[in-house]
Structure 1
Amino acid sequence: MARPETIKFGKFFVRLSDGATPAVFTAPCGFTSKSFTRSKTLNSVQVPDCEFPDDAAWEERDVQSMSATISGSGVLAKGAMPAWEQALESTDSVAAQIEFVYADDTSDFYQGRFHIESFEINGSLGERVQVSVTMQSDGEITYERTT
């Protein structure tokens, strides 16, 4: 069995655009946990067997829509706050990139626009202040394998 190629946490990037032209993408510091989820909203219909109508019907599904979510949590980093605040204050979505970089320098690269859905800051006595962010896609997400 061949061993699969995997990546470390530090090679999973979430970058936000600064909104300039041309855009500069930077990864806000502080995340100790990140996730990128792609999903589909499905509609289903039960399709009966015409020859044997008493048999259980099978469900068939059609895609209604597609979306993506970026979430992350970690320590509140002072240097990251301006980027988060800029994205929060905007009523327009912000361009974002998600990249997974492999040891051979190939990447799985996603790009699209996202709205910050939630931005939570919390702290407990004796611990560092934490931040939790959730972003929802706004339109198409593109995928590319780069070499």
Structure 2
Amino acid sequence: MSLPVEADFAVVKRGDGADPEVFTILCGLDQVSINRTANTNDRFRRDCTKPGVPAFRRSKTTGKQMDISASGAINIPDIALYNTALGVTANYKIELGQYDDTDTGTIVHTIDGPFNLLSANSSVGDDNSAEVSLASDGIWVEVTA
């Protein structure tokens, strides 16, 4: 039997832009949704030998994008970072890992690249929570361990 390789947790890190760049964990954000999209333009073309038949769509890829939503618990000290980072492109690392009885776990997949922080939402009360949305802003790199 063959089972899928699954991640047990996610870690979201934001770079500081320095050289060398230092990445800080956005504490509490441990659930991620990763959406990869190919953008297209649709054109419709008729069969030259059958002009009375409706045209068929031709799909041309014009670009690729990645959108990431990360959620979890709100870490109050990170609210200032979210306010500063909102609408700003920076380098992010999203690490997907597995539990292995160590403090850091085993990282099984990493996404690195420039992302724009589009939103930073928080809820405070009985169910404290946070959610951020990141939009790719250039080329990203994915590495599977």
Q: TM-score, normalised by structure 2?
A: 0.77
**What residue in structure 2 maps to residue 38 of structure 1?**
36
Structure 1 residue 44, shift from structure 2 partner: 0.7
Task: Tell me, yes or no, if the aligned pair for 1:76 and 1:129 is still in contact at 8 Å.
Answer: yes
Identical counterparts, % of pairs:
25
CA distance in 2: counterparts of 1:82 and 1:20, whole angstroms = 19
Structure 1 residue 93, shift from structure 2 partner: 1.0
Trace 1:96-111 onto structure 2 (pairs within 5 A). 96-101=92-97, 107-111=108-112
SS at match of 1:107: strand
Trace 1:61-72 onto structure 2 (pairs within 5 A). 61-72=59-70
**What residue in structure 2 maps to residue 59 of structure 1?**
57
Task: Tell me, yes or no, if the aligned pair for 1:100 and 1:107 is still in contact at 8 Å.
Answer: yes
State whether structure 2 residue 138 is matched by structure 1 residue 139. Answer: yes
State whether structure 2 residue 30 is matched by structure 1 residue 29. Answer: no
Alpha carbons of structure 1 residues 47 and 103: separation in structure 2 relative to 1, 3 Å: farther
**What residue in structure 2 maps to residue 120 of structure 1?**
121
**Deviation readout 1:34-72 (Å, 9 max, x if unpaired):** 212121221011122222233343211111222211212
Structure 1 residue 31, shift from structure 2 partner: 2.2
Alpha carbons of structure 1 residues 32 and 92: separation in structure 2 relative to 1, 3 Å: closer
State whether structure 2 residue 128 is matched by structure 1 residue 95. Answer: no
Structure 1 residue 19, shift from structure 2 partner: 2.6
Q: Match for 2:96: what amino acid? A: F
Q: Select which of 16, 19, 38 maps to 2:17.
A: 19
> What is the RMSD of the two structures over their aligned residues, measured on CA atoms?
2.6
Q: TM-score, normalised by structure 1?
A: 0.77
Task: Tell me, yes or no, if the aligned pair for 1:97 and 1:112 is still in contact at 8 Å.
Answer: yes
Alpha carbons of structure 1 residues 93 and 65: separation in structure 2 relative to 1, 3 Å: same
* Count of equivalent residues: 140
Alpha carbons of structure 1 residues 84 and 108: separation in structure 2 relative to 1, 3 Å: same
Task: Tell me, yes or no, if the aligned pair for 1:17 and 1:23 is still in contact at 8 Å.
Answer: yes
Alpha carbons of structure 1 residues 87 and 129: separation in structure 2 relative to 1, 3 Å: same
Structure 1 residue 143, shift from structure 2 partner: 2.5
Structure 1 residue 144, shift from structure 2 partner: 2.9
Structure 1 runs not aligned, ≥5 long: none
CA distance in 1: counterparts of 2:77 and 2:14, whole angstroms = 14
Task: Tell me, yes or no, if the aligned pair for 2:67 and 2:136 is still in contact at 8 Å.
Answer: yes
